[in-house]
């Protein structure tokens, strides 16, 4: 049963679905049916240390760097139009494999070339981001981007974080101006 | 509280009101050679209209449930407001999730126009009762190659009505836009884009396919004749007069009269404002029957007003007295003519000959020649047409408003030929009537 996620709320993944080991962050949207540039949404993940920064640039998982060095976080591929049913992009996280030095994994969604294409989430039909338990495919949390983030072009979805031997997920739901570059820089990536 | 100003993609809640209007406008309001129209689509969860009746625009001004109405001149008093859609939120049927409001440039591609030619286009959401503006969206049109766009949408979400600014569309115009909403628009040629009157016709043909599929091939043949005589896009009221006197008995019994009705109806589909056919039956007396539509065309002759046997009985089939019905037809349409707009009327008059009262009829038709009514007399299965033939050539008329041809048997000509004969004289009359000022507006 999906938990309705309001900004700032947090969900204990271990409590929600005990025995959780692999989760999928899924990003979906409808391909554009009107004329104009395609809607290209990108999911990204950042493996962060105790001060909220990446340990190295390889901790920035995105369409050009699909696997973390330890194999714990894997980006399933870049979908540039949103065509296809279900999640159009996904990042899977094997919680057991996440190394000790990583305290958090942050997830973001951005619109590629949003400024040039003059696009925002509100113009994209049925855009969402969600977290799913890989073992049973059950959705744990979801945000409706088209509806609730309509004038944004990028947003920080949430963070997986360690807390007393458990993994928790904190929904952040914060818009971010400027796109993937500035977002990555924010986490200490050398862009 | 002031109105919310939205940028494309943004949405806002609609506060508790029962009736709102989506008002659209553009700047400049008038551009020479540019025709802009607003339209709306009521769509279900799949983003498509449940049927073509949910495409509300100047050609179909209300949704079937009356929840959305097109207002060609909104009385907001605001200068730039051009057209509007009144929405009664409580009446919107459960299956409709959103009402998309669109603007299109008629023949934009052909005329090499697009929204970039304007300074701006806007949509305002207004509380219909208080007139207060709830939200506003100004679309920046620089560089917009589109000629048809979805400007805004009124939609439901978790029980709350909302308004969203959209501003996306197609360079190809109304046809791809309507198709995206699930309206069945047949596309014979890739360009130029389909004109609104053609879209309306396509909608009616789809309707016909659903309600009276046996008439679809007839409708196609009618289309061929309409095109041949360059009548497509013209509008006129279409009427049909049926002789219900005793001599017609065999024709009714053998289903010939229903066949005639089946063949005339497609002309109404093409030409009539409402797509319906006005029908009269007469013998000694005359009676106007319920207008025939695609819903009632099947077995109309057997079902309308108790069926043809009743027509014959009540109208007294022993006698045929044409002047009564001719007067009735004239009176009926005379009421529709105003000083500004006079739409032509095309009347098909079915008789099997044996017409009496010819002097009286002649006088009526001569007088009627000053009216925009064209009488197409068709003799079927009869004899002694002499008098009917004379209607074609009689002197003293303001202009030639009659034509006659006979068919011993409906089956003696092909349907295509029948349509050709029905329409052959009409264009000439139209021209002359317009030239003489009988038709205007």
Whether the Cβ atoms of residue B179 and residue B170 lie closer than 8 Å to each other: no
Please report the residues numbered 21 through 50 in chain A whose beta carbons come closer than 8 angstroms to any beta carbon of chain B. 32-36
pLDDT in tens, B256-303: 899 999 999 999 988 888 889 999 999 999 999 999 999 999 999 999
Whether the Cβ atoms of residue A142 and residue A128 lie closer than 8 Å to each other: yes
CA-based nearest distance A114→chain B, Å: 13
What is the percentage of chain B residues whose pLDDT exceeds 70? 91
CB contacts of B169 in chain A (<8 Å) are 34-35
pLDDT in tens, B18-75: 899 999 999 888 777 788 889 999 999 999 999 888 989 877 889 999 999 998 777 6
Q: Locate all alpha helices (DSSP H) within B157-303, ordered by sequence.
A: 174-180, 196-211, 216-228, 249-253, 256-271, 300-303
Tokens of B33: 């050679």
Residue B191 pLDDT > 50 = no
Q: What is the reported pLDDT for B188? A: 32
Q: Which residue has the tokens 């005339």?
A: B264
The helix (run of H) or strand (run of E) holding residue B134 is strand B133-139
Nearest-Cα residue of chain A relative to residue B178: A34
Q: What is the reported pLDDT for B357? A: 80
- Tell me how crowded residue A101 is: count the other CB atoms within 10 A of its CB: 12
* Mutual angle of helices B322-334 and B358-368, in 10-degree steps: 20
CA-based nearest distance A35→chain B, Å: 5
Q: Which carries the bigger pLDDT value, residue B393 or residue A42?
A: A42
Whether the Cβ atoms of residue A161 and residue A148 lie closer than 8 Å to each other: no
Whether the Cβ atoms of residue A82 and residue A38 lie closer than 8 Å to each other: yes
CB of A122 less than 8 A from some CB of B: yes
Residue B380 pLDDT > 90 = no
Q: Which residue has the tokens 């202009």?
A: B399
Q: B338: Cβ–Cβ under 8 A, 6 or more apart, which residues?
A: B441
Q: Compute and round to an integer the Cα radius of gyration of chain B.
A: 25
Alpha carbon B365 to its chain centroid, in Å, reads 27
Size of interface A-B (CB pairs under 8 A): 46
Q: What is the reported pLDDT for B339? A: 60
| DSSP bridge partners of A133 | A23, A138
Tokens of B299: 């077995």
pLDDT in tens, B201-240: 888 888 888 888 888 888 888 888 888 888 877 888 999 9
Residue B85 pLDDT > 80 = yes
Q: What is the reported pLDDT for B307? A: 95
ipTM of the complex: 0.84
pLDDT in tens, A54-83: 999 999 999 999 999 999 999 999 999 998
Report how far residue A113's alpha carbon sits from residue A118's, in angstroms, rounded to the nearest whole number.
8
User: Which candidate from A35, A124, A147 shows the least CB-CB separation from B171?
Assistant: A35
Report how far residue A16's alpha carbon sits from residue A140's, in angstroms, rounded to the nearest whole number.
8
User: Which candidate from B9, B145, B149 shows the least CB-CB separation from A150?
Assistant: B9
Nearest-Cα residue of chain B relative to residue A153: B9
> Which among A37, A150, A175 is the top mutation candidate for probing chain B, defined by the most B β-carbons within 10 Å of its own β-carbon?
A150
- pTM of the predicted protein model: 0.58
pLDDT in tens, A22-36: 889 999 999 998 988
Number of C-alpha atoms within 13 angstroms, CB side, residue B331? 10
Residue A14 pLDDT > 60 = no
Residue A20 pLDDT > 70 = no
CB of A123 less than 8 A from some CB of B: yes
Contact A33 B180 (CB under 8 A): yes
3-class secondary-structure state, position B437: coil
From chain B, which residues contact A within 8 Å (Cβ)? Answer: 7-11, 47, 145-146, 149-150, 157, 164-172, 180
CB contacts of A119 in chain B (<8 Å) are 9
For the residues B400-414, what does the mean pLDDT come to? 81
Highest mean pLDDT among A41-50, A147-156, B374-383: A41-50
Residue B103 pLDDT > 90 = yes
CB contacts of A120 in chain B (<8 Å) are 7-10
Residue B79 pLDDT > 80 = no
Q: Which carries the bigger pLDDT value, residue A184 or residue B176?
A: A184
Alpha carbon distances (Å) from A67 to A74, A93, B116? 5, 10, 45
Pairing state between β B278-282 and A73-75:
unpaired
3-class secondary-structure state, position B428: helix
Contact A122 B11 (CB under 8 A): yes
Q: How confident is the model at residue A11 (pLDDT cuts 50, 70, 90)?
A: low
Contact B9 A147 (CB under 8 A): no
Q: What is the reported pLDDT for B192? A: 35
């Amino acid at each position: 049963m999906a938990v309705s996620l309001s900004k700032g709320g947090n969900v204990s993944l271990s409590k929600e679905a005990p025995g959780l080991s692999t989760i999928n962050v899924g990003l979906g949207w409808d391909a554009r049916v009107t004329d104009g540039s395609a809607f290209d949404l990108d999911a990204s993940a950042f493996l962060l240390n105790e001060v909220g920064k990446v340990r190295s640039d390889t901790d920035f998982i995105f369409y050009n760097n699909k696997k973390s060095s330890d194999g714990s976080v894997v980006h399933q591929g870049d979908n540039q139009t949103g065509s296809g049913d279900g999640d159009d992009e996904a990042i899977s996280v094997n919680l057991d494999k996440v190394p000790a030095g990583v305290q958090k994994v942050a997830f973001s969604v951005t619109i590629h070339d949003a400024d040039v294409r003059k696009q925002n989430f509100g113009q994209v039909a049925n855009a969402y981001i969600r977290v799913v338990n890989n073992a049973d495919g059950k959705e744990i949390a979801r945000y409706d981007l088209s509806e609730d983030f309509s004038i944004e072009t990028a947003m920080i979805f949430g963070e997986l974080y360690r807390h007393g031997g458990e993994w928790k997920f904190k929904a952040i739901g914060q818009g971010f101006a400027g796109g993937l570059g500035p977002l990555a820089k924010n986490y200490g990536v050398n862009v | 509280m002031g109105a919310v100003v939205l940028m494309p993609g943004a949405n806002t809640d609609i506060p508790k009101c029962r009736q709102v209007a989506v008002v659209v406008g553009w700047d400049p309001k008038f551009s020479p050679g540019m025709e802009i129209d607003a339209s709306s689509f009521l769509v279900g969860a799949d983003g498509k209209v449940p049927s073509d009746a949910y495409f509300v625009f100047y050609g179909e001004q209300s949704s079937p449930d009356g929840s959305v109405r097109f207002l060609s001149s909104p009385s907001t008093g605001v200068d730039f407001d051009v057209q509007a859609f009144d929405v009664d939120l409580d009446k919107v049927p459960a299956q409709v999730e959103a009402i998309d409001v669109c603007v299109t440039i008629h023949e934009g591609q052909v005329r090499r126009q697009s929204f970039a030619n304007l300074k701006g286009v806007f949509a305002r959401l207004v509380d219909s009762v208080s007139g207060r503006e709830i939200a506003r969206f100004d679309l920046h049109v620089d560089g917009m190659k589109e000629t048809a766009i979805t400007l805004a949408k009124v939609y439901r979400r978790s029980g709350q009505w909302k308004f969203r600014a959209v501003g996306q569309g197609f360079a190809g115009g109304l046809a791809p836009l309507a198709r995206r909403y699930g309206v069945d628009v047949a596309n014979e040629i890739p360009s130029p884009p389909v004109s609104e009157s053609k879209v309306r016709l396509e909608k009616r043909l789809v309707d016909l396919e659903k309600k009276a599929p046996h008439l679809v091939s007839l409708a196609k043949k009618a289309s061929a004749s309409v095109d041949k005589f360059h009548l497509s896009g013209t509008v006129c009221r279409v009427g049909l007069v049926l002789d219900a006197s005793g001599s017609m008995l065999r024709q009714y019994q053998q289903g010939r009269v229903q066949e005639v009705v089946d063949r005339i109806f497609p002309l109404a589909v093409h030409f009539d404002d409402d797509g319906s056919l006005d029908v009269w039956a007469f013998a000694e007396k005359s009676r106007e029957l319920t207008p025939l539509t695609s819903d009632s065309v099947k077995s109309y002759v057997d079902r309308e007003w108790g069926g043809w046997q009743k027509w014959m009985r009540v109208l007294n089939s022993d006698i045929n007295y044409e002047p009564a019905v001719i007067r009735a037809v004239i009176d009926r349409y005379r009421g529709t003519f105003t000083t500004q707009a006079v739409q032509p009327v095309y009347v098909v008059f079915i008789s099997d000959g044996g017409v009496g009262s010819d002097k009286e009829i002649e006088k009526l038709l001569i007088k009627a020649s000053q009216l925009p009514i064209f009488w197409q007399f068709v003799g079927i299965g009869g004899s002694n047409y002499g008098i009917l033939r004379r209607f074609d050539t009689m002197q003293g008329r303001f202009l030639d408003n009659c034509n006659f041809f006979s068919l011993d048997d409906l089956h003696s000509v092909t349907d295509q030929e029948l349509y050709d004969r029905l329409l052959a004289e009409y264009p000439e009359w139209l021209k002359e009537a317009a030239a003489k000022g009988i038709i205007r507006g």
